[in-house]
Structure formats: C-alpha cells, structure tokens
Amino acid sequence: MNLLVCWNELQDQDVDLIRSKTGANVTVCENKEDSWALVEEAHVIFGFVSPEVLVKAKKCQWLQIPYAGVERILAAEWGNPQMVLTNGSGIFGPNIAEHVIGLLLAFNRGIHLARDFQSKRQWSWDVFYPFRELTGSTVGILGYGDIGQQVGKRLEGFDCNVIGFRRNPQGMEKYAQQVYSIDEFHSYAGMLDYLVCALPHTTQTVGFLNRHRLQKLPKHAVVINVGRGSLIPEADLLLALEEGWIQGAALDVTPQEPLPESSPLWAMENVIITPHNSGRTPFHRERAFHIFFENWEHFQIHGKPKRNVVDPKRGY
C-alpha cells in the first residue's frame, strides 16, 4: 500500500510514527513540484495536496485532508472518480469557538477601540460606546455542526440562550435550546442578539445571508462570520452596517481574501477583521493524526474510511 504524505510541517518523528502505525510504503512529498511525480503511484494521500494534481492520482482510493474546507478539492478533476475524500472536521472546533468568544467579548467591551486608543497613547474614552454583556442574550449559530456546537458549549458559561440552524437537525445536538432547519432561519432572525456564522461553502450557502435576511435581524445584532466569506455578499453587508440594520460585524473570512485595501470594511469602527486565522491551533497535527489513524484502521478492514467522509453532492 503506497501512502503519500504531503505536509511540509511534519518532523521526521511524525513520519516515523505514520510508518509504524500504518505499515505502509510511505513517501513524503515536500513541495508541489514533487507531488506531480509522486501522486501517480499513491493509493492513499494524507495532507495538503494541491487540487490540480489530483487528475494524476488515478490509483488513489482515499484522500484525507487535514482541514475542513473541501470546495477546491471538489471543484478539481479527480484521476479516480471513485476516490473517497475525508476532511479535518473536528480538528478546529475548540480554537475557532474560542476565537468567536474573543470577538464577541471584544465587541461587547469595546476592546478593539481601546487598542486603537492605546496606539495613540490616549487614556480617556471620549466617544460613546454601547457596552454590553452576553448574559441572558440569544445567540443564533448558523451552521450547528462541530464548530457551532463548540461555540454553544462555551456560551453556556455566559448564560446565553443558544439557537442552532443546520441543514438537517438531528434532534440530538448539545448545548442549544433549539436547533432548526436553515430554511427556518427567517422565522427566528428577529430574536437574535448575535449571529455566529459557521457554514461551509456550498451552492446552497453562497450569498445566503443577503440583505433581505440581514434586514430581519434586530438593529442591535452583531454578526460573527468564521465560516466562509461567500456566505455574505459584501455589498449587502456594507449596506447593513452603513444603514444601521445591524450594530456591527466581526469577520475572520471575507468574500475576497486577502481583503482588498480598497474595501470600506477596513475603516469601519463597527467592524473587527481577523485574517482567516481562527483555525490556527497548536493541536492541529495531534488532532489530524487521531482522525487519520482511526480512518486508516477502518480502511484496512473495510476498504474505506469511516470518519468525516465528504458527500460531493452536499459539498461537505
């Protein structure tokens, strides 16, 4: 069994662990140029593979990627149309959830503006700011999967009422008072103090949070987006912020990345921008290995992986 590992941050001991755990013929791909030649003989690929090389992966039965987003992989041409794709869902829930809480608290306490004043060596708070608490607030989470539920878990400590929205509610979700279908979002948008967006990029989610849905939110609502920038049309978000349909927005993702210098979002005081880094965590490798080895064991016994199998039709 030929296993191609494409993750240039791995150390020699990590590769040795993969060899000992799998017993496979492990080849390490250190750069994109290597992958073009090595991918042809791979039966399994683990790591950050460039989508365009998959056309040559005709023998590949299973691709395990250590990140959550799959839109670029799904859009590529696969050398083996029957290849199974598994992603890194479950790796990033805790750290992205902490990022969300940080953004919420920064907004509530004006920490982003305080930092601006600090850079000017200015002590006095000479502008009005509507300080808020999370206590007793209603938080909607659009995309109540792993990340959404990790956010809900942390919001419990702030005495929040959590409402989740997902494509197919399971009726077993934790940490939310209610979980509804995404199609029902418009019925509950008006009761949300905060809206956390953690949806993947699919044909159904592109442009979902448009001006019509933004207008249904209360004027004091704050929108946090850590999912995909394609969810909110930038022109509609700008209009919502300028016209006061919502109080503010915190964005870790934007429709175009990097966000162009010309974007008005940069200069808006009621916007906090982080450069798509909510997924950074020191536990990335450890959690990715856990998923991969669990899937490897199932692959060896049943001929296919079990955990985080992506449905190309759904897009996640």
- pLDDT band at residue 172 using 50, 70 and 90 as cut-offs: confident
Residue 247 to residue 31: CA distance in whole angstroms: 45
Across residues 193-205, what is the average pLDDT?
96
Strand, coil or helix: what is 296? helix
Cα(287)–Cα(131) distance, rounded to whole angstroms?
A: 37
- CA-to-CA distance for 70 and 58, rounded, in angstroms? 19
* Strand ranges inside the chain, DSSP E: 2-6, 25-28, 44-47, 62-64, 84-86, 138-142, 161-166, 178-181, 194-197, 222-225, 248-251, 271-273
Residues recorded for the chain: 316
* Structural tokens at position 273: 């921008």
- For residues 176-204, give the mean pLDDT: 97
Q: Using DSSP, how many helices (H) and how many strands (E) does the chain show?
A: 10, 12
Q: How confident is the model at residue 159 (pLDDT cuts 50, 70, 90)?
A: very high
Q: Check pLDDT > 90 for residue 34.
A: no
Query: What does the pLDDT read at residue 32?
Result: 77
- Under the banding of pLDDT at 50, 70 and 90, the label for residue 218 is very high
- The answer to whether the CB of 308 falls within 8 A of the CB of 294 is no
Provide the phi-psi class of 23: left if phi over 0, else alpha when psi is between -120 and 50, else beta. Answer: left
250 band by pLDDT with thresholds 50, 70 and 90 = very high
Q: List, for residues 42-85, the tens digit of each pLDDT value.
A: 999 999 999 999 999 999 999 999 999 999 999 999 999 999 99
- The dihedral region occupied by 135, where left means phi > 0, alpha psi between -120 and 50, and beta the remainder, is beta
Say if residue 11's pLDDT is above 80. Answer: yes
Model confidence at 127: pLDDT above 80 = no
- Give me the percent of the chain exceeding a pLDDT of 70: 100
Structure tokens at 29: 């791909």
Q: Which domains does the chain have, with CATH numbers?
A: 2-90+283-302 (3.40.50.720), 93-273 (3.40.50.720)
Per-residue pLDDT averaged across 86-105, rounded? 97
Catalytic (active-site) positions: 228, 276
22 phi and psi, to 5 degrees? -100, -30
Give 86's strand partners: 64, 309
Q: How confident is the model at residue 90 (pLDDT cuts 50, 70, 90)?
A: very high
Q: Are 288 and 91 in contact (CB under 8 A)?
A: yes
